[in-house]
Structure 1
Amino acid sequence: MTSAPYGVDALPGLPGAVTICEVGPRDGLQNEQLLVPAEVKAELVERLADAGHTVIETTSLVHPKWVPQLADAEEVLGRIRRRPGVRYPVLVPNRRGLERALDLGVTDIAVFASATETFAKANLNRTVDESLEMFAPVVARAREAGLPVRGYLSMCWGDPWQGEVPITQVVAVATRLLRLGCTELSLGDTIGVATPGRVVALLRALTAAGVHIGQIAVHFHDTYGQGLANTLAALQNGVTTVDASAGGLGGCPYAKSATGNLATEDLVWQLDGLGIHTGIDLAKLAETSAWLAQRIGRPVTARSVRALTGAGSPAGH
């Protein structure tokens, strides 16, 4: 199957290429109740690389008490074959997690902050100020070691406790994260409430505050079916890095209204049809998500995977 079997037509104002940060192995699996074996996680990472991914968020070095699904992080990292030209970011919660990452040979680090006080308390048991103070030495140490650091910022458009999140509040926390030394900022629509106009408004506010658009990535959840529309709006305004999860897996253990991430296959189908290069083989990726559904025992929700493979249920492929 060709990458765009029904034709390609570009739209004005879009980039020629997009980097997809595949978050399935970490963000996609972290909320699964059934513990996924380390060998399955490692094989997932290998399959994603085979499909053409160049950025694969692999795991998190968080305490097992908080995210039991990722308790096997060190085993997973030991099982994967790190390929030239492929980055394998790992989320670290604190200085101790960073030192573990450095000992394991990790070369890309991520930290996870919140734009709202309520989610900072729920997710990190700290205020926004306290969480940034905790991240400051982590980012500094990683940068001293020559590592790029991605700063996730959650609840950028809405919070289940606070409701709408003011743009000024998001910009204030985002610029502080970048001043700490983060090299990339991933804007998270954690509960999936953003719409295209609000996406553009935040991007424009950030660039007006001096943030370079090339530092910004977007991370949409598809709760209200807006993920692709929001992504297109972001691309039309200069963003070239998009987070997505194979098969649409994902959620957040501390925000129950956070449903699945934007499905990587749905995103690639759209980008292929627009003539935007990703380097990802959509057929291989869809096969991988169908394979994973069988291993974790639940249906594939991503529309493109169902359309391409007929995998409507874990036993359906």
Structure 2
Amino acid sequence: MKTYYQVLELSEQATAAEIRQAYLRWVRLTHPDRTPDPAAHARYLLVNEAYDTLSKPESRARYDARLRGGNAMPATQPAAVPTVPFPGNAYQVLRVPYSATAPQIEQAYRRIRQALLAVPADPALRAHLAQVEHAYATLVIPWLRQLHDARVRGRKPDRPPSLYAELYQRYSGIGRATCWTLLVFFGLILVDRSWTLTFSSEQPLSVREYRGRGDYHWVTTPHAAFRVVGTFPAGTYFAIERSAVLQQVRRYQYWRGAKPASGVINYDSGSVYGALFFFPVAMAGCAAFGLWRRRSPKRTVDSAVSGVLLAVVVVYLFMAL
């Protein structure tokens, strides 16, 4: 069994400064926050035990006396790093709050361990020391503490990170920019929906068949272009209402020669501004959800993708209707 000096790789004549330097060097190499290696965790517990004894002149003198007498207490080889959390309440064993930080846990562990090692060998105290070490290992190893908290505090363990978490994080900025663009597009639609221009006497510049459908024609006037039913000979005039920004014809009326009253053809009921206005609203909802505070990168990117798909539908409806 190794002595405390051998654990720290020091000679028996090492000074207090050398002991301190060796301790800090081993802590940097073996601390659970720095390495997930179970063997390093076991060495970390051993290093703390050695430093607790050799850092204080009184305890070191007693240890050196036993060492010269041939009956020095060897460094207690800690049990293997546990693979299951402490079965009881590790916070109560170490007397720390549930919100204890790593330095607080470390300080409490060293204080209790020092008190137990100062008492002559006692089976009951050694058993309690084993519990203290198990509780300490549970709270310093992150995944063991997570499982322990899930049981003791009734908190669900955190979900493991997604395989695509880094990819979502990388494109979250593009997702936010896309969501802002979709909201601007929705604002443009709202402005276009509420801002109407009227042209009371428009003559067709051209009339052509609409996409191979003989009963539909595409009429182009100086201020609008729209689909109509039927044909319109020379001398036909149109009164047109269209949106100011996207130039979508909303209503039209036509006559020939004198201006008889004719029915007003209303596009609104079957257009993006009518029953199909659900699609722009859904697009804006996806964009707003992606920009909501405390949204994860995954939800931001997913909302942006959903909003873009709905924007494609909206553009198609504008072009088709």
Please tell me the TM-score bracket, short chain as reference.
under 0.3
Structure whose CA Rg is larger: 2
Question: Counting helix residues as a fraction of each chain, which structure ranks higher?
Answer: 2
TM-score, L = length of structure 2: 0.17
More relative contact order in 1 or in 2 (CA 8 Å, sep 6+)?
1
TM-score, L = length of structure 1: 0.18
